[in-house]
Amino acid sequence: MHALHRLTPDQYLEIERASEFRNEYCDGRMYAKLGGSHAHAIIIGNLAFELRKAVAKGACLVTSSDLRVRVSPQGLYTYPDVVVVCDSPQYADGRRDTLLNPVLVIEVLSRTSEAYDRGFKSAQYRTLKSLQEYALASQAEPRMEVFRRQRSGDWLLSESIDTQASCRLESIGCSIALSDLYDKVTFEDAETARNVDSEPLP
């Protein structure tokens, strides 16, 4: 892991906007977001394609990998694998490159980032008032987990496994067949892939 000296969020944004590469930010430090495996890229592409089809006639927008999300003003800025925002997107400032109000965030799990995505990052995402669902897609098998906010404020886990199953995303009112999500994915390659989409934080 390669982290710079402690920075304020404004300093991070100034550096990040001038950088050729993407970096996430947590608690005063920047962390390089690395390239992913082939399977990782295929799954993200399939997800984005299927979601865009599903919301094509509605008010929601789907982006993948390049849109920065401010999870907390002082603590965490990330580049989720897939982000969906509905109604009017809200941004941190006039640059319109840092989203504040996603309704759905999806991360594709990798061997070295899985604990971070399930733990710290998951807990931080769930503090976003706008977020209705946080989903995790496996690279090792056809499996999608969706954490859905309940009216009580609790979060309920729904899991879809196998290519015969479908994953329901209530936040945008659609279902995705796992056969489409994992189209052209070779799981042996995915399971042995060493390269990951981001470096996990401590």
Q: Give me the pLDDT at residue 202, please.
A: 45
Residue stretches of the chain with pLDDT short of 70: 1-4, 188-202
What's this model's pTM, rounded to 2 decimal places?
A: 0.88
Q: Give me the pLDDT at residue 34, please.
A: 75
Q: Give me the pLDDT at residue 91, please.
A: 95
Element (H, E) at 104: strand 104-108
Q: How many CB atoms lie within 10 A of CB 76?
A: 20
Cα–Cα distance between 106 and 80 in angstroms, integer?
7
DSSP 193: -
Cα–Cα distance between 54 and 167 in angstroms, integer?
13
Let me know if domain 39-190 sits in CATH 3.90.1570.10. yes
Q: Give me the pLDDT at residue 189, please.
A: 52
Q: Give me the pLDDT at residue 188, please.
A: 63
Q: Give me the pLDDT at residue 193, please.
A: 47
Domain positions in the chain:
39-190
Q: Give me the pLDDT at residue 36, please.
A: 78
